[in-house]
Structure 1
Amino acid sequence: MQNGTISEARLAGARVKAYRKHHAHDRGLLLIGLFKLGKSILFFLIGVGVVHLLHKDISDEIMRLAVALKFDPESRFVAILLNKADLIDAHRLKQIGVATFGYSAVALTEGIGLVLEKVWAEYLTLSLTMMFLPWELYELVRHPTAFRVGLLLINLAVLAYLLWLLRRTKAESLD
């Protein structure tokens, strides 16, 4: 009789553990997922802005924006932007738009998957984060800025957390 009670208690404990595993949301995944969803929205809006510029003179738009933001149109900053704008033609603008919308779609997929705590999303985010680290390091060495350092630190934290979480999940599944 006692063995039956112990087995029932273990079964009940296993059910509680399984319930918590399926119903307790991981705050880290939720935070990373929301960050990815925010990036998706940002890049979607950038893509919309690029599409808006397709049939316009970019230099005129830069001047209009500089005046609206009360920048001196003769400033060095505006001159640099105007010089860079001359390098962008309609074909290049379309390429930028496609890449921006594509990145937005990938970030949306990551974000939704992470918020829903899908393991495939954890692996996707882990893979993409690892793929972009060499590029981020290259850019940081080339032009070090506080923004790039912050971006690298955020991505390293995401990478470390996902590695820890996947190892923990694998260890729990072996138990």
Structure 2
Amino acid sequence: MSQNGYNPDPHRHPGLHVIALLEASKAMLALLAATGLEILGPQPLRDGVNALIRRFSLDPDHGTLPSLLNAISPDAVHLAAAAMIGYGLLHLVEAWGLWKAKAWASWLGCLTASIYLPFDIYAIVRHPGWASWTVLAINLIVVYVLARDLRKRRR
């Protein structure tokens, strides 16, 4: 334990471990989704968008979904999979850093969780419900725990 009472031992940070597991889960889901995109290709996405167009009786020639349908190509799928791999690897590195109680990981986690907050609030405005509120609450808790960790490190 240091003179200021802050113990950098990662086993003393159960909050960081919980957040590390959350980040690792997000990383694994992103990597799994990227793998699925590469294996399945664009056709399942095209089928899903077509099903949405039929389900909501949308104009198949105009609007956002038909535009999205036209944008789904093998190249777009490769680009989306690459972006998901980058996202997954970033969160995997963050999870490792949080598990090891690294200050840079707390900074990274605090920043990335804070970026989601305006989108979480927008989701509550557009789709109020327990799911939207739960996501906001989780992100606020993550920001609080990581900011608290950073404050403790400064003392």
Q: Could you state the TM-score of these two structures normalised by the residue count of structure 1?
A: 0.67
Cα distance between partner residues in 2 of 1:128 and 1:100: 15
Alignment equivalent of 1:25, drawn from 6, 12, 19: 12
Q: Answer yes or no: is 1:89 the counterpart of 2:73.
A: yes
Instruction: Give 3-state SS (helix, strand or coil) of 2:152's partner.
Output: helix
Show the counterpart of 1:57.
Answer: 43
Query: Alpha-carbon deviation of 1:132?
Result: 2.1
Instruction: Give 3-state SS (helix, strand or coil) of 1:117's partner.
Output: coil
Query: Alpha-carbon deviation of 1:122?
Result: 0.3
Q: Could you state the TM-score of these two structures normalised by the residue count of structure 2?
A: 0.75
Structure 2: segments with no counterpart, 5+ residues: none
Distance 1:91 1:147, change over 3 A: farther
Show the counterpart of 1:44.
Answer: 31
Q: How many residues align?
A: 142
Paired residues for 1:112-123 under 5 Å: 112-123=96-107
Show the counterpart of 1:158.
Answer: 142
Give the % identical residues.
Answer: 25
Distance 1:52 1:28, change over 3 A: same
Amino acid at match of 1:33: A
Cα distance between partner residues in 2 of 1:21 and 1:93: 43
Query: Which segment is superposed worse, 160-169 or 119-128?
Result: 160-169
Cα distance between partner residues in 2 of 1:23 and 1:57: 45
Distance 1:60 1:163, change over 3 A: closer
Q: Answer yes or no: is 1:143 the counterpart of 2:127.
A: yes
Instruction: Give 3-state SS (helix, strand or coil) of 1:129's partner.
Output: helix
Distance 1:80 1:116, change over 3 A: farther
Amino acid at match of 1:58: P
Distance 1:14 1:102, change over 3 A: closer
Query: Alpha-carbon deviation of 1:127?
Result: 0.9
Instruction: Considering Cα pairs closer than 8 Å and 6+ residues apart, tell me whether 1 or 2 has the greater RCO.
Output: 2
Show the counterpart of 1:3.
Answer: none
Structure 1: segments with no counterpart, 5+ residues: 1-12, 63-75
Amino acid at match of 1:96: A
RMSD: 3.0
1:1-24 deviations in Å (ceiling 9; x for gaps): xxxxxxxxxxxx868x68x54364
Query: Alpha-carbon deviation of 1:148?
Result: 2.4
